[in-house]
Amino acid sequence: MILFVQNHDRVPAANFATWLDQWKVPHATWRPDRDDPLPDLAPLAGVIVLGGYMGVQDQERFPFLGTVRAFMADLLAREVPQLGVCLGGQLLAAVLGGEVRPATDGEHGVRTATLTAAGRRDPLFAGLPEELPVFQWHNDSFSVPSGANHLATSVDCAGQAIRHGNAWGVQFHPEVNGEVVAAWCQQTGAAAEVAESFRRREAELATSARRLLRNFIDLTGR
């Protein structure tokens, strides 16, 4: 089973859940923000920690973030494969000793993530281009923790993807669909061109994101 860790109502698994259903991969969702009890690790093949509107440094306002960090640390110790997305990637970096800080300008809309030499060799990015189109929506960024592999970078944000053992973190949002992006733009007053940039390249983005998810599922042994 794949477990989604959903930290906010407005940041669902979206396409990821749809594709797992198509592949008949069982999945469940844990909502730590609703004080759901900790899930049993025994049946889990892998975990995907989703994003959120809060930041890693907001633990005082959102105490459940400490619970998620401890859960991710436990996954690392038990060598359960995990993939952190945006906030999830930042939490992973923090657990590994990296720094999470406000990005200079943040990134919103379709951007390009460039795979490093390590990224080009990494099985999470197998079959994907070196210049990878991705959808970005973040105001914080993470440094590459000591001992982690740096897998991808971008013009505005060096920390786009990291790996430590069988834990991966990405700064971008491969899980989103048009409905989610439109809702984010409406709720935050983001410029119309952000949603339009996604609509123009939605099929291309979905193809890459689907491959990335399939790679992760294969890495879990499912």
Domain containing residue 133: CATH number: 3.40.50.880
Q: How many distinct structural domains can be found in the chain?
A: 1
Average pLDDT over the chain reads: 94
Global confidence as pTM: 0.96
Tokens of 194: 């952000």
Across the range 121-145, mean pLDDT stands at: 95
Instruction: Give me the active site residues, please.
Output: 86, 173, 175
- Domain range enclosing 182: 2-220
d(CA 172, CA 155): 13
Helix (H, G, I), strand (E, B) or coil at 29: strand
Tens-digit pLDDT profile for residues 26-65: 999 999 999 999 999 999 999 999 999 999 999 999 999 9
Give the pLDDT score at 196.
86
d(CA 59, CA 81): 24
Across the range 77-93, mean pLDDT stands at: 98
Return the ∠ at Cα 94 (arms to 152 and 32), rounded to 5°: 110
d(CA 132, CA 111): 8
For the cut 70, the answer to whether the pLDDT of residue 100 exceeds it is yes
For the cut 70, the answer to whether the pLDDT of residue 190 exceeds it is no
Tens-digit pLDDT profile for residues 160-182: 999 999 999 999 999 999 999 98
Confidence of residue 104 (pLDDT cuts 50, 70, 90): low
**Whole-angstrom Cα Rg for the chain:** 16
Contact criterion met (CB below 8 Å) for 125 and 119: yes
For the cut 70, the answer to whether the pLDDT of residue 105 exceeds it is no
